């Protein structure tokens, strides 16, 4: 009996020592990673609040995404010891990551609606609808995060341990399935958007061929056609969708695939390392999001330059002239394409 108790004491000491070592390594790796995410998304929030010319659908969803990623970076920047011996940091980080994933999904739903319903899109996707959707994303994100680590043996179901050692039960299984379905839904929506774009491109091409057969004057062959404008637009949209959805799937899929594997042996250091690496790649998505959902817009880049050159009045004047020229030429091109 004495030998058994001594072995148990040694095992406990090894677990504590390994836990402390893991905590030190986590702080050394995660904190420098969280600070840039926090600052980048804070800047993105300021820029979005100033970007009055962005369409409200993009602006509301982008602000919600930047805010969640900012909070995720902020929590990552705080040492684990601040959250106590119960390792509660996971309960503060997970909700923001989940809300971020849901918001990216809302972006893809928004794009599907814009392609499917065309002009009716602005009647269906109103500011009030988007605000309700963002509120629901927060509710679901917090609820999913709670059940990710649900432990029925502890008070209020709170799990006091390392996140990858959370107990496996029906609640945690449901959350893993929901997260994996979220990833798959974005892939299906991307395929659906490509299908819609292909069908529209084929329809426009058919109309163009019919009109061309009726045309007798050689000047008509040199005139810009709606088909040409539409084809360029379709290619540009496909490229943007491929980059945005591709980065999202590349960053998030590995972690959720690893978590979906049943009966993973987390006592194996290789499996813990694999989980940590895939989680780090998923956090990288919070650093990439501002580039994909904020900085790619001309209006956002203009507002960012205004902040950077706030003390240079001459530069600000040139920026304002360039901005007015850009929106004027954009309106002319839009009106021209509408008349063709």
> Distances in Å between the alpha carbon of 328 and those of 305, 318, 320, 339?
20, 15, 12, 17
Domain map (residue ranges) of the chain: 2-209+221-308
Residue 325 per-residue DSSP state:
H
- Residues 162 and 22 sit within 8 Å (Cβ to Cβ): yes
pLDDT of residue 8: 41
DSSP annotation of 293: I
Task: Report the alpha-carbon distance of residue 294 to residue 212 in Å, rounded.
Answer: 41
Low-confidence ranges of the chain (pLDDT < 50): 1-18, 214-229, 332-340
The pLDDT value given to residue 224: 41
pLDDT score of 205: 56
Q: Are the beta carbons of 62 and 48 closer than 8 angstroms?
A: yes
pLDDT, tens only, 104-122? 999 889 888 888 887 788 8
| Residue 266: φ, ψ to 5° | -80, 0
What confidence score (pLDDT) does residue 14 get? Answer: 44
From the candidate CATH numbers 3.40.50.1820, 3.40.50.300, 1.10.1760.20, 1.20.1070.10, the one assigned to the domain spanning 2-209+221-308 = 1.20.1070.10
pLDDT of residue 156: 83
First-last CA distance in the chain: 90
pLDDT for res 102:
93
> How many residues make up the chain in this entry?
340
Contact 324, 298 (CB under 8 A): no
pLDDT of amino acid 237? 65
Contacts 24+ apart (CB under 8 A), 247-254: 247/285, 247/288, 247/292, 248/104, 248/186, 248/285, 249/183, 249/186, 249/187, 250/281, 251/281, 251/282, 251/284, 251/285, 251/288, 252/101, 252/183, 252/282, 252/285, 253/183, 254/278, 254/281, 254/282
45 closest CA partner among 68, 18, 17 = 68
What angle do the packed helices 226-260 and 269-290 form, to 10 degrees? 150
Helices (H) and strands (E) in the chain, counts: 10, 0
**pTM for this structure?**
0.79
């Amino acid at each position: 009996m004495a030998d058994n108790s001594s072995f148990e004491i040694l095992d406990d000491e090894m677990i504590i020592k390994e836990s402390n070592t893991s905590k030190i390594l986590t702080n050394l790796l995660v904190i420098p990673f969280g600070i840039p995410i926090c600052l980048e998304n804070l800047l993105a929030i300021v820029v979005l609040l100033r970007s009055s010319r962005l369409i409200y659908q993009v602006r509301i969803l982008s602000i919600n995404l930047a805010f969640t990623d900012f909070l995720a970076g902020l929590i990552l920047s705080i040492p684990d010891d601040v959250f106590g011996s119960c390792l509660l940091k996971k309960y503060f980080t997970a909700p923001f990551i989940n809300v971020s994933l849901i918001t990216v999904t809302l972006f893809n739903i928004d794009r599907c609606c814009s392609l499917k319903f065309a002009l009716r899109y602005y009647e269906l996707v109103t500011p009030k609808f988007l605000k309700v959707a963002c509120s629901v994303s927060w509710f679901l994100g917090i609820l999913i995060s709670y059940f990710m680590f649900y432990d029925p043996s502890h008070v209020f179901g709170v799990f006091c341990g390392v996140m990858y050692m959370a107990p496996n039960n029906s609640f945690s299984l449901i959350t893993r399935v929901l997260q994996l379905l979220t990833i798959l839904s974005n892939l299906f929506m991307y395929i659906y958007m490509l299908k819609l774009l292909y069908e529209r491109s084929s329809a426009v091409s058919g109309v163009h061929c019919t009109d061309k057969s009726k045309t007798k004057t050689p000047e008509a062959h040199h005139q810009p056609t709606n088909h040409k404008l539409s084809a360029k637009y379709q290619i540009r949209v496909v490229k943007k969708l491929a980059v945005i959805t591709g980065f999202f799937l590349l960053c998030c899929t590995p972690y959720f695939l690893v978590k979906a594997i049943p009966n993973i042996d987390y006592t194996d250091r290789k499996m813990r390392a694999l989980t940590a690496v895939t989680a780090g790649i998923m956090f990288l998505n919070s650093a990439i999001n501002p580039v994909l959902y904020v900085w790619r817009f001309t209006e956002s880049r203009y507002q960012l330059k205004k902040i950077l050159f706030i003390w240079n009045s001459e530069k600000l004047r040139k920026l304002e002239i360039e901005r007015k020229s850009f929106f004027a030429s954009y309106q002319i091109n839009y009106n021209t394409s509408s008349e063709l």
